[in-house]
């Protein structure tokens, strides 16, 4: 495997994904906690950073067990650190060094640069430049403006890249990473969805033995893949619980429950609509709604789980981005929304926790799901928030409002599917606004609700843009909604990006 030491760059996870796209396993660790480097570690990559190496509080890693002892590649900050710390010099850049550049000089005899063509485009993003290299370092690539675009350390397996090989705009970045990871480090390219399934099932069998495990299913991709993997490992000893909080999409509870049963999972469906609705009655504050839903879910799940005799483990569909310890530059970030619906569940239940997906990124979870023959329809589902329609009904929640929104949402989502737009959109849904407006239907004046439709493109939900859905499609959907859903006389389309807006309205 490859170890990536993180200095807080926004691109660190992208490096990890590129390594894994080469079917090589890697882990991200904060720069200050270098893990044990046993024989499975074939090489180390140092990430970029928002810091300058000239800053007083700049991160300084301890590389004594790494540099000169195993293959090492510094990227951007990593390259500047390896240069400055060992006797080179880094200064603020004179010219702008952000964005595209081309490699004017390449030492093609160098193992790192094999196969990189003349004038290869690279992506720069830094405010500093290396002006002097330590004595035993030598330049292996330059752009017109940046003489030290890449270097090697003679007599060691150490390299530095001033540009970012992991970003899409570095056109031969993948070749350079291949050269480092496969040719230089000698990693085998055997980290595939199938191998992951085999090794995970084997290790779950060993870890869980004959113990009983309980898992909360949500209908989402992560919990489903976790369920199928566990089922493959321990069969009937896995019990899944699927709670209907009454805030799901139209018919979703029954549809999802049916498909789980179809997959051979041992699922208990719990109809808890009334509990959720009565606890939520009269509450309009978004954070309070989230907290209530989280708490009621835990109470119900706990009660159901205790009906199963001798449960020892709680399984969760946690994925890798949730467990990477981030290197925070600006201190802990402010709580915009509390997304962790079921944080607190493991503590409350007093069970051991097993998280079979905690090494995977989202796209890898989907690939593993495919290897497990889970239906493309389930794997391709848009994300849906844990608190469900509660955070799409602005203001307090009533059964009537839920019914209206379920109908609107159904027309919109079904419309996207019928028009083959569903897969082009990362997430879509409808919001019921606490606003009434005047309309006219036939000869009658109406005074009814407004709904907002939202469809966004994104890769991870952290940033998003609104999707430019065809006008004809929006016209048809709007017409259908107003004609078919009683109580709605106006439809608007949300054209805000994230940031500054968020995806959900609450």
Query: CB-wise, 158 or 318, nearer to ligand XMP?
Result: 318
Instruction: Please tell me whether residue 386 binds ligand XMP under the rule CB under 6 A.
Output: yes
By CB under 6 A, what part of segment 247-266 binds ligand XMP? none
Minimum distance between the CB of residue 59 and ligand XMP, rounded to whole angstroms? Answer: 29
Parallel, antiparallel, or unpaired: how do β-strands 352-354 and 488-493 relate?
unpaired
Of the residues 164, 185, 410, 506, only one is catalytic, namely 164
C-beta of residue 427 within 8 angstroms of C-beta of residue 249: no
- Is residue 362 part of the contact set for ligand XMP (CB under 6 A)? no
Buried b (16+ CB within 10 A) or exposed e, 5-16: bbbbbebbbbbb
CA distances from residue 359 to 187, 283, 294, 320, 436 in whole angstroms, order as listed:
18, 38, 25, 5, 47
Residue 220 Cβ, how far from ligand XMP at the closest point, in Å? 8
Stretch that binds ligand XMP, among 228-236, 326-334, 385-393, 479-487 (CB under 6 A): 385-393
Active-site annotation holder among 97, 152, 166, 304: 166
Active site residue 166: yes
Q: Is 264 annotated as a binding residue?
A: no
- Taking the least distance from each CB to ligand XMP, the nearer of 178 and 361 is 361
* Residue 401 within binding range of ligand XMP, rule CB under 6 A: no
Which run of H or E residues covers position 100?
Answer: strand 98-106
Given 157, 179, 223, 341, the residue binding ligand XMP (CB under 6 A): 341
Q: Is residue 232 within a helix (H) or strand (E), and if so which, with residue range?
A: helix 221-234
Element spanning 465, H or E? strand 465-466
Can you tell me which of 295, 337, 348, 370 binds ligand XMP, judged by CB under 6 A? 337
| Least Å from the CB of residue 30 to ligand XMP | 25
Tell which residue, 101, 85, 83, has the closest CA to residue 151.
Answer: 83
Pairing of strands 311-315, 212-217: parallel
Among 65, 254, 479, 502, binds ligand XMP (CB under 6 A): 502
**Does residue 291 touch ligand XMP according to CB under 6 A?**
no
The reply to whether 504 sits near ligand XMP by the rule CB under 6 A is: yes
Residue 138 annotated in ligand binding: no
Is position 427 an interface residue for ligand XMP (rule: CB under 6 A)? yes
DSSP state of 179: I
* Residues in Cβ contact with 125 at an 8 Å cutoff, skipping those fewer than 6 apart: 48, 76, 97, 98, 99, 164
Q: Prior bond to 500 cis, omega within 30?
A: yes
Q: Which is nearer to ligand XMP, 77 or 361 (CB)?
A: 361
Query: Which of the stretches 101-109, 242-250, 384-392, 431-439 binds ligand XMP when contact is defined by CB under 6 A?
Result: 384-392
Return the H-helix or E-strand segment holding 150. strand 150-153
Residue 245 binding ligand XMP, by CB under 6 A: no
Told to judge if 164 belongs to the known catalytic residues of this protein, a careful annotator would answer yes
Closest approach of Cβ 387 to ligand XMP, in Å?
Answer: 5
Distances (CA, A) of 139 to 63, 80, 125, 135, 177: 22, 13, 19, 11, 18
Q: How far is CA 409 from the centre of its chain?
A: 24
Query: Are the C-beta atoms of 415 and 473 separated by less than 8 Å?
Result: yes
CB of 276 to ligand XMP, least distance (A): 14
Among 162-170, 334-342, 393-401, 465-473, which window interacts with ligand XMP (CB under 6 A)? 334-342
Rounded Cα distance between 215 and 200, Å, is 17
CB of 237 or CB of 427, closer to ligand XMP:
427
Residue 224 interacts with ligand XMP (CB under 6 A)?
no
317 is a contact residue toward ligand XMP (CB under 6 A)? no
- 76 catalytically annotated: yes
- Indicate the residue among 130 and 456 with the shorter CB distance to ligand XMP: 456
Closer residue to ligand XMP, CB minimum distance, 18 or 290: 290
Percentage helix, strand, coil for the chain under 3-state DSSP, each rounded to 5: 35, 25, 40
State how far the Cα of 65 lies from the Cα of 226, in Å rounded to an integer.
36
With beta carbons less than 8 A apart as the criterion, state whether 270 and 243 touch: yes
What DSSP element (H or E) covers 312? strand 311-315
| Binding piece for ligand XMP, criterion CB under 6 A, among 36-44, 244-252, 267-275, 333-341 | 333-341
What count of Cα atoms within 13 Å lies in the side-chain half-sphere of residue 35?
19
Is 220 part of any known ligand binding site? yes
Binders of ligand XMP among 461-500, rule CB under 6 A?
A: 461, 498
- Of the two residues 346 and 439, which places its CB atom closer to ligand XMP in the complex? 346
Q: How far is the CB of 459 from ligand XMP (least distance, A)?
A: 11
Token readout for 200 is 């995970």
Count Cβ atoms below 10 Å from residue 425 Cβ, excluding itself.
18
Closest by CA position to 71, among listed 189, 184, 187? 184
* Cβ nearer to ligand XMP, comparing 219 with 386: 386
Nearer to ligand XMP, 114 or 458 (CB): 458
| Size of residue set near ligand XMP by CB under 6 A | 14
Residue 375, marked binder: no
Q: Is 322 labelled a binding residue? A: no
Interface with ligand XMP, residue 142, by CB under 6 A = no
Catalytically annotated residue among 26, 76, 185, 187: 76
Binding-site positions: 218-224
Q: Which residues are annotated as catalytic?
A: 76, 164, 166
Residues that bind ligand XMP (CB under 6 A): 290, 337, 339, 341, 383, 385-387, 427, 461, 498, 502-504
Binding-site positions for ATP: 218-224
């Amino acid at each position: 495997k490859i170890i990536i030491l993180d200095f807080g760059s926004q691109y660190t996870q992208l490096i990890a994904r590129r390594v894994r796209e080469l079917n090589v396993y890697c882990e991200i660790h904060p720069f200050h906690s270098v893990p044990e480097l046993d024989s499975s570690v074939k090489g180390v990559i140092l990430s970029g950073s928002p810091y300058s190496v000239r800053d007083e509080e700049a991160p300084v890693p301890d590389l004594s067990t790494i540099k000169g002892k195993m293959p090492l590649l510094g990227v951007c900050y990593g390259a500047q650190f390896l240069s400055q710390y060992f006797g080179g010099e880094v200064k603020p850049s004179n010219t702008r060094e952000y964005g595209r550049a081309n490699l004017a000089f390449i030492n093609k005899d160098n193992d790192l640069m094999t196969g990189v063509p003349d004038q290869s485009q690279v992506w720069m993003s830094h405010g500093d430049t290396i002006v002097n290299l330590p004595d035993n370092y030598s330049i292996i690539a330059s752009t017109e403006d940046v003489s030290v675009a890449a270097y090697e350390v003679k007599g060691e397996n150490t390299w530095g890249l001033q540009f970012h090989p992991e970003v899409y705009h570095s056109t031969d970045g993948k070749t350079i990473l291949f050269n480092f990871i496969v040719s230089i480090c000698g990693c085998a390219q055997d980290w595939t969805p199938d191998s992951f399934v085999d090794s995970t099932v084997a290790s779950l069998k060993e870890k869980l033995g004959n113990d009983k495990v309980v898992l909360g299913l949500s209908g989402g991709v992560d919990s489903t893949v976790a369920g199928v993997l566990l089922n493959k490992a321990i069969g009937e000893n896995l019990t899944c619980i699927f709670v209907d909080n009454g805030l799901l999409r139209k018919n979703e509870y029954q549809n999802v429950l049916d498909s789980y049963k179809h997959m051979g999972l041992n699922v208990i469906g719990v109809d808890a609509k009334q509990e959720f609705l009565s606890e939520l009655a009269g509450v309009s504050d978004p954070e309070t709604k989230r907290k209530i839903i989280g708490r009621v879910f835990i109470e119900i799940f706990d009660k159901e789980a205790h009906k199963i005799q001798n449960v020892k483990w709680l399984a969760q569909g946690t994925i890798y981005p949730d467990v990477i310890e981030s290197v925070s530059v600006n201190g802990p970030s402010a709580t915009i929304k509390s997304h962790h619906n079921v944080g607190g569940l493991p503590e409350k239940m007093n069970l051991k926790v097993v998280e079979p997906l905690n090494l995977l990124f989202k796209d890898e979870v989907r690939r593993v799901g495919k290897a497990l023959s889970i239906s493309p329809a389930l794997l391709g589902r848009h994300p849906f928030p844990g608190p469900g329609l509660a955070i799409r009904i602005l203001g307090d929640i009533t059964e009537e409002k839920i019914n209206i929104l379920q109908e609107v949402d159904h027309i919109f989502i079904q419309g996207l599917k019928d028009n083959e737009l569903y897969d082009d959109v990362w997430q879509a849904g409808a919001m019921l606004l606490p606003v009434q407006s005047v309309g006219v239907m036939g000869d009658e004046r109406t005074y009814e609700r407004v709904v907002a439709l939202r469809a966004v493109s994104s890769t991870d939900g952290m940033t998003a843009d609104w999707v430019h859905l065809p006008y004809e499609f929006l016209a048809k959907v709007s017409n259908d909604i107003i004609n078919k859903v009683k109580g709605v006389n106006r439809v608007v389309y949300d054209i805000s990006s994230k940031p500054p807006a968020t995806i959900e309205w609450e």
